[in-house]
Amino acid sequence: MTKQKFKSNTLPSLVMIGPVVLWLAFFIVIPLLYVAVMSFCGIDEQYNIVFRFTADNYKRLFNANYVQIYAQSLTIAALTTIICIVLAYPFSFFIARTLSKKKAILYMLVIIPFWTNSLIRIYGWRTFLGTNGWLNNRLLDFGLISSPIDFLFKPSATVLGMVYSLFPYMVLPLYTAIEKLDKSLLEASADLGAKGVSTFFRIILPLTASGIFSGSIMVFIPSLGYFFVSDILGGGNSDIIGNLIERQFQSGNNWPLGAALSMVLIIITLLLVKLYQKCGGDMESLGV
Amino acid sequence: MKKIIALFTAAAMTLSFTGCGGGTSGETGTGGTASVGETLNLFVWTEYVPQSVIDDFTKETGIKVNVSTYSSNEDMLAKVKAESEGAFDIIQPSDYMVEQCINQGIVQEIDLSKIPNFSNIAESYKKPSYDPEGKYSVPYLGGVGGIAVNKKRITDEITSYADLFKPDYAGQLVVLDDFRPVIGIASESLGYDLNETDPKKLADVKEQVMKLKNNIKLYDSDSPKSALIAGECNLGFCWSAEIALANAENPDIEIVFPDEGAFLFLDNWCITSGSKNIEAAHKFIDYMCRPEVMQKVLEEFPYLCPNKAAVELMGEEYTSNPAKNPPAEVIEKGNYNTNLDNDTIAIYDEIWTELKK
């Protein structure tokens, strides 16, 4: 009897996959559908959601201000990603090439700060960089500057906060890719007379490109949405897409418009992941 | 090795994601699980109700109090409507928002017979225009959206909201991160109404608001005083008590009441219609109307106080300080927000988006 039951794979696979499917359905598919449906709804005078079909929210998405904010947000995200690559690449290379005992220590140094709440760390930067903050005071003490530098409340401060918050997400995939790199290939390249620069561009970079791709995805996407960074360090002067969404769900009290804006973010994310797959990216390395 | 690294990263990701929501939500939603009468869930403005006062209430009555905070009326409304009924027992809407809450049916009538200390409230505050029968709200504190000026760094005479729009003050301003007050004062600076609804006039208001773009260095509703005290900003548009507190730290920072008539607000205690701890809520509001309790509140957050018995306890230092206790003529001349229709809100929202982009 039992043998027969297991001949068909239905029961075991239901048992194995069922919970996961339910989990995905309840926590991903249904919420996403809900957002999609809500984005076509309106609101009444009491700010309540009214379920009648309208495309007004989508029309409002093309408002010139919104378009500028998307562009600004994409620029901030792109800058964040590039800076993360430039900083994380040598760092990951260094970890991957050190002895394994030290590796754990180096890695811990990146991770441990992230055991503190990110809001607190971002506020820490504000205290550190303020016109009356530690950095400006030291620079003044040493006579390097004559009046405090305005570091904060600019788009550049937002980028700094993003880079700081998202750095580890770049390090992990890069580290994995660089560790896989076969040392004998580098030796072969040297034997064949390639200089360091050409080895880097023709051997190392192409072989670690997958790490750069997955790191970029993992940095770029959140940096479109981390509104608290642009609020706290950017001073609220340079909104990103995350701020737009947050505002409609909070002070704006217009959830359908917020939902439509969320759809923009979801679509950008999907396009980027598709592009990543097209470029031969491995979905597994996005999963962490 | 790789496994360890993956583990650390996973832990870091989880932590930093939970961090994202940390901005506005405190401890909420415990009301449902605790037995009735033992827990009270407050949803109040940031920097408004001292923790020591709440602790004393718990000590006295044994009622546990959870506090969550918000920094704009609209945020509060959105949150109360999004949470399950009874997630919050007490909220603190301002004037116009009380009316909105009554219309939306999210607050219930307060039984004043259970609030004997209500007699301490000055007569003039008892039946406000936004709650004409005084059934739904008990006034807590109020004040002015005043102008903060660092007199040492800004030597020009600042007398009106209109002065804040001058190009001379590029990068000098900290303002509330709240669209109604900011757009409201832009409108007043042009001689229009604080609650302007005429689309033609709002086009002018938009132009006026954009003049602020270059002047504003920072939007901060939670603690605008910090930027003023740190010298980050030399001009501000913020709540009067924040200016009083900044003044206590640095006497150069003074309050200016604008010629146009000041932006006024008055915050109130209300009980949500979904509250499951109605008795405890009344007890808490009554406690907050005691003169000695309000005295403690005022020592920490020196706002305008409708509780006349508490004001008597405060003495000269409080009553004579214009930032703490704005003069009667300022209040008389000032204006409150009123509720706007959806189309007007959409225009305000667009102005605000353009300002903040």
A237, A245, A261, A265: best to mutate for the B interface, most B CBs within 10 A: A237
Tally Cβ neighbours within 10 Å of residue B82: 11
Q: Is the pLDDT of residue A3 over 60?
A: no
Q: Which residues of A touch B220 (CB under 8 A)?
A: 235-236
The pLDDT score that the predictor gives to residue A6 is 54
Q: What residue type is A242 in one-letter code?
A: G
Is residue A123 in some structural domain? yes
Is residue A264 in some structural domain? yes
Is residue A6 in some structural domain? no
Confidence of residue B159 (pLDDT cuts 50, 70, 90): very high
pTM value? 0.85
Domains belonging to chain B, first-starting first, are 2-142+266-324 (3.40.190.10), 143-264+335-356 (3.40.190.10)
Task: Mark yes or no for CB contact B349/A104 under 8 Å.
Answer: no
Is residue A263 in some structural domain? yes
Residue A176 in tokens: 């994995």
Q: Is the pLDDT of residue A91 over 80?
A: yes
Average of pLDDT values for B33-60?
86
B254 phi and psi angles, rounded to 5 deg? -125, 160
Task: Mark yes or no for CB contact A119/B10 under 8 Å.
Answer: no
Which residues neighbour B7 within 8 Å (Cβ) at sequence distance 6 or greater?
Answer: none
Across the interface, of A46, A165, A251, the residue whose CB is closest to B74 is: A251
Q: Report the run of H or E that residue B143 belongs to, with start and end.
A: strand B138-150
Task: Mark yes or no for CB contact B12/A228 under 8 Å.
Answer: no
Q: Which residues of A touch B103 (CB under 8 A)?
A: 46
Q: Report the run of H or E that residue A42 belongs to, with start and end.
A: strand A42-43
The pLDDT score that the predictor gives to residue B31 is 39
Question: pLDDT per residue over B217-241, tens digit each?
Answer: 999 998 999 999 988 999 999 999 9
Confidence of residue A287 (pLDDT cuts 50, 70, 90): low
Residue A124 belongs to domain spanning? 64-287
With H, G, I as helix, E, B as strand and everything else as coil, classify residue B79.
helix
Is residue A35 in some structural domain? no
Is residue A19 in some structural domain? no
Task: Mark yes or no for CB contact A115/B2 under 8 Å.
Answer: no
Q: Is the pLDDT of residue A15 over 90?
A: no
Number of domains comprising chain A: 1
Is residue A80 in some structural domain? yes
User: What's the half-sphere exposure (Cβ side, CA atoms, 13 Å) at B119?
Assistant: 4
Confidence of residue A1 (pLDDT cuts 50, 70, 90): very low
Which residues neighbour A117 within 8 Å (Cβ) at sequence distance 6 or greater?
Answer: B15, B18, B19, B22
Check if the beta carbon of residue A233 is closer than 8 Å to that of residue A157.
Answer: yes
Average of pLDDT values for B173-189?
96
Residue B30 forms contact with A (CB below 8 Å): no
* Closest CA in chain B for residue A132: B230
CATH of the domain at A98: 1.10.3720.10
Residue A148: which of A131, A135, A134 has the closest Cα? A131
Q: Which residues of B touch A43 (CB under 8 A)?
A: 342
Q: Is the pLDDT of residue B15 over 70?
A: no
Confidence of residue B181 (pLDDT cuts 50, 70, 90): very high
Instruction: Find where tokens 């993360």 sit.
Output: A84
* Closest CA in chain B for residue A150: B232
Tally Cβ neighbours within 10 Å of residue A203: 18
* Closest CA in chain B for residue A226: B20
Burial class (CB in 10 A: 0-12, 13-18, 19+), B139: buried
The pLDDT score that the predictor gives to residue B27 is 38
Check if the beta carbon of residue B96 is closer than 8 Å to that of residue B76.
Answer: no
| Complex confidence, ipTM | 0.83
Check if the beta carbon of residue A161 is closer than 8 Å to that of residue A232.
Answer: yes
Is residue A138 in some structural domain? yes
Q: Report the run of H or E that residue A111 belongs to, with start and end.
A: helix A100-111
